[in-house]
Amino acid sequence: MKRNIFLIFLLLAVACALPFLVSNYRTFQLTLVLVYAIALLGLNILTGYSGQISLGHGAFYALGAYCAAILMDKAGVPYWATLPAAGAVCFVAGFLFGLPALRLEGLYLALATFALGVAMPQLLKYHHLEKWTGGVQGIVIPKPEAPLGLPVNADQWLYFFTLFVTLVMFVLGWNLLRGRVGRALTAIRDHAIAAEAMGVHNALYKSTAFGVSALYTGVAGALGAIAVQFVAPDSFNIFLSIVFLVGIVVGGLASISGALYGALFIQFVPNIADEISKAAPWAVFGIFMIGFVYLMPTGVAGAVRLLLARRRTP
């Protein structure tokens, strides 16, 4: 345990030093890694821990992003204040979608969420909402500057802000999943009826898990929108939801650290594969997905755990 804490502080120190060592563009990419990590943690709460498959989490990411963009653009709300709002809206939306989803299991839930993911861009383009959403053109939002005259540029500031939010979200997530709630969710995933018999309120836990998961993804969406400075319907298509799925499968299902590995994977692997062909990242994603399901179902996090365990017991 002591070693783990030491490792986490080391990781934090590296994370704080990084933006001063690399270019602004790399800093921006690292910001996105953190954003994805939050979103993946959200999806992992739902799919990894409580076993409800979502193929439509891009929709909640979009909702969060649009919340932030609309609040900043139309109401002049400062960027940091949009995060709680986006989280709250997504929690409610997720909870409400989770209620009917209670009746759906496995494949059917996957189907319903898949439909949500496919339909989302069209909903965002809907012309009666254009007044707020900006229709196909989307919304451009300004980049926040560092406050109080801190000696960092805008990219670095946004990175540190995101790092702070990520830290808070991960600590909250860790507390949530390592305790009573996490155990209850895992019990529902592994045997719903047995969990019910032990006194777990299945319906409440499952729909709350949906809400919390959407909240995480929504906060990530809001941060992502601020980092990219732009939202448009077509950047939130079904493939975004699939990217998240790739992330949790590669990073490791039902694992908190897995969200980080997955985020690194979905941010940097496409960059490398892009040099071969425009279509190559997706082929690589697909092959990795199948490969991980066949060979390493616990993902990178599982492999790391295995390696550490082997080193400790020679």
Partner 1 sequence: MDAFLHQVLAGLATGGIYASLALALVMIYQATHLVNFAQGEMAMFATYLAWSLLNAGVPYWPAFLLTIGIAFVGGILIERVVVRPVESSPVLAIVVVFIALLVILNSVAGWIYTYTLKSFPSPFPQQAAFKYMSPHEIGAIGITLVVLAALYVFFRFTPLGLAMRAAAQNPESARLVGIRVGWMLALGWGLAAAIGAVAGMMVAPIVYLDPNMMGGVLLYAFAAALVGGIDSPGGAVLGGFLVGVLENVLGAFVIGNELKLSVALVLIVGVLLVRPSGFFGRVHVTRV
Whether the CB-CB separation of 200 and 191 falls below 8 Å is answered with: no
Closest distance to partner 1 from the beta carbon of 235 (Å): 15
Contact (CB, 8 A) for 117 and 58:
yes
User: Measured from the CB of residue 213, what is the shortest distance to partner 1 in angstroms?
Assistant: 15
| Cβ 42 to partner 1 shortest distance, Å | 16
Q: Which range binds partner 1 by CB under 8 A, 83-91, 137-145, 223-231, 290-298?
A: 290-298
- Selected from 239, 268, 269, 304, the binder of partner 1 by CB under 8 A is 239
Of 306, 269, 288, 253, the closest CA to residue 41 belongs to 253
Q: Which of 46, 68, 181, 238 binds partner 1 (CB under 8 A)?
A: 238
Show the CA angle centred on residue 134, arms to residues 130 and 139, nearest 5°: 155
Joined together, the tokens standing for residue 246 give: 């790739």
Smaller CB distance to partner 1: residue 112 or 264?
A: 112
Q: 97 or 157: whose CB is closer to partner 1?
A: 97
How crowded is residue 99: how many other Cβ atoms within 10 Å of its Cβ?
14
Map the footprint of partner 1 across residues 100-129, applying CB under 8 A: 100, 103-104, 106-108, 110-112, 114-116, 118-119, 122-123, 125-127
Residues that bind partner 1 (CB under 8 A): 47, 51, 53, 55, 100, 103-104, 106-108, 110-112, 114-116, 118-119, 122-123, 125-127, 193, 238-239, 242, 245, 249, 253, 277-283, 285-287, 289-290, 293-294, 297
